[in-house]
Amino acid sequence: MITLRKSSDRGHANHGWLDSRHSFSFADYYDPAHMGFGNLRVINEDRVAAGSGFGTHGHRDMEIVSYVLDGELAHKDSMGNGDAGGASGVIRPGDVQRMSAGSGVLHSEFNHAKDRATHFLQIWILPRQRGIAPGYEQKHFDPAQRRGRLVAVVSGHGTDGALLMNADAEIEAGLFDGEESATKTLDPARLAYVHVARGEIEVNGQRLAAGDAALLDGEAQLELRNGRGAEVLVFDLAR
């Protein structure tokens, strides 16, 4: 079964400095029909105005992934990332960041640009184990790696080249245009979620545009084709 979640059906909040689209219930947006999908709990499409950001706040027992589409985002946390001597914490297009909140972490995210908004996806996935030590990684995935194919960028399955997360899930990313296509065998016992970050593409014959998603339950195969400047994230999820 394939269910479409159109971009226009998502929750929306505009705080001036932050314009956010919520695929699932989040903050003041509550929809009991969209509380998550399997162990995927949050996909927020955020646009952070120049010179603005999220002040220091806390998380625990959640795997948090940031995927930048435009601009840059500076991360700082209680583990020392973003401080002198720690990991840089600044992520740009092509970069993927994974933070395991575990037993508890404080962090902030800021767009230091003076004249450019930051456009990124904030993703939360429920952890496999609770109460672990907090952790952080970031890695750049060159567009050439993702051109016309799906590449694992974050995985709880120990996939080579991907950031490792504490969750029974995997996120793949791909870029598709024209005749570029990808086919992926799915485990019908699991769930798959396809989010179109930008452009347009056909997902198992259904046309999706930026912000749209396809929820696949019991499907044996995923086909991505006929993209127009498409950037796509594919989630393999536990029920």
The encoded tokens of residue 152 equal 């694992």
Question: Confidence band (pLDDT; 50, 70, 90) for 85?
Answer: low
Report the alpha-carbon distance of residue 61 to residue 51 in Å, rounded: 29
Global pTM reads 0.96
User: Which residues have CB under 8 Å from 152's CB, separation 6+?
Assistant: 159, 161, 162, 170, 171, 172
Given this model, what pLDDT does residue 83 score?
Answer: 76
Residue-number span of the structural domain to which 68 is assigned = 2-237
φ, ψ for residue 15 (rounded to 5)? -100, 15
Q: How many domains does the chain have?
A: 1
CA neighbor of 220 nearest in space, from 190, 177, 187: 187
Report the alpha-carbon distance of residue 17 to residue 26 in Å, rounded: 18
The encoded tokens of residue 147 equal 């051109």
Collapsing DSSP to helix, strand or coil, 163 comes out as: strand
How much is the average pLDDT of 142-170?
Answer: 97
Give residue 114's region: left, alpha or beta (phi > 0; psi -120 to 50).
alpha
The radius of gyration computed from the CA coordinates of the chain, to the nearest angstrom, equals 17
CA neighbor of 236 nearest in space, from 136, 137, 156: 156
Given this model, what pLDDT does residue 159 score?
Answer: 93
Longest CA–CA span in the chain (Å) reads 50
Question: What CATH number is given to the structural domain containing 175?
Answer: 2.60.120.10
Instruction: Mark out the alpha helices in the chain (DSSP H runs).
Output: 143-146
Given this model, what pLDDT does residue 89 score?
Answer: 83
Residues in the chain: 239
pLDDT in tens, 174-204: 999 999 999 999 999 999 999 999 999 999 9
pLDDT in tens, 39-74: 999 999 999 999 999 999 999 999 999 999 999 999
